[in-house]
Amino acid sequence: MPLMARVLVVEDDQFVRSALIRHLTDASHTVRSVGTALEALREVAQVGFDVVILDLGLPDLDGAEALKMLRGITQVPVIVATARDDETEIVRLLNDGADDYLVKPFSVEHLSARMAAVLRRARGGARAGAAGPGDGEIRVGGLAIDPLRRQARLDGRTLDLTRREFDLLAFLAGRPGVVVPRRELLSEVWQQSYGDDQTIDVHLSWLRRKLGETAARPRYLHTLRGVGVKLEPPRDAAAEPSRRWTPGP
């Protein structure tokens, strides 16, 4: 059954805006739309939304700046719609709080698939966040990950992870030492049957920074070119790593 959502479309091009509104409404979503960043901020502050589709080329404020301001007032999932396909720019957008991005032009089917995946993750995270005491955690070396409370610590320090970064880390940590194919990551983490490897690479790159490592000098995250990704304890760990998973009731 498809997930219905309250959607805010932030797009100044009237033709694109009308097409998005028509498509989303036909899919039974509730849609509001604005053409400027300031209007978007006002709408988000006053109305509850499930997802925001944010164009970057806005007339009053660059969408990247609008994204930062949105993240100051809400954690609503944001899908960035952009003509910019530079990897550095994409990394910056994801770091600033974007949950996903689409490079223009894109099909309505592609948008629908990305929206559905973002909504499933967001609603799954909300259910996980409501878990009570006694739920288990995964330990790999100095990493401690609580999938139900969506919290992760490294050597006792809480990690500030985006929703997607946490999903990726938790999925890999649940299979320590196992090489997970990229296709499986797209299916299980992104909930997509297809996609660009760049999507995975961008998230791995930023996750590595937060774990204090690089692709050239990995500690936890190891990429096997052409095969997949694995997470395992660092070889310099002082003690034998443990992994404990205690399922909830």
Compute the distance between CA of residue 143 and CA of residue 101 in angstroms, rounded to an integer. Answer: 29
What is the pLDDT averaged over residues 226-247? 62
Give per-residue pLDDT as tens, 169-211. 988 988 888 888 888 888 778 776 666 677 888 889 999 999 9
Q: Which residues contact 119 (CB under 8 A, 6 or more apart)?
A: 3, 5, 50, 51, 77
Sequence-distant (6+) residues with CB within 8 A of 136 are 146, 148, 244, 245, 246, 247, 248
Confidence of residue 246 (pLDDT cuts 50, 70, 90): very low
- In this structure, are residues 234 and 211 in contact, taking their beta carbons and an 8 Å threshold? no
Give the CA angle between residues 115, 120, 122 to the nearest 5°: 95
The CATH number, out of the four listed (1.50.10.20, 3.40.50.2300, 3.40.50.1000, 3.40.50.720), of the domain defined by the range 6-128? 3.40.50.2300
pTM of structure? 0.55
Residue % of the chain over a pLDDT of 90: 27
- What residues does each domain of the chain span? 6-128, 138-231
Please give the Cα distance from 180 to 191 (Å, whole number).
15
Right CATH number for 138-231 from 2.60.40.10, 1.10.10.10, 3.30.1360.20, 3.30.930.10?
Answer: 1.10.10.10
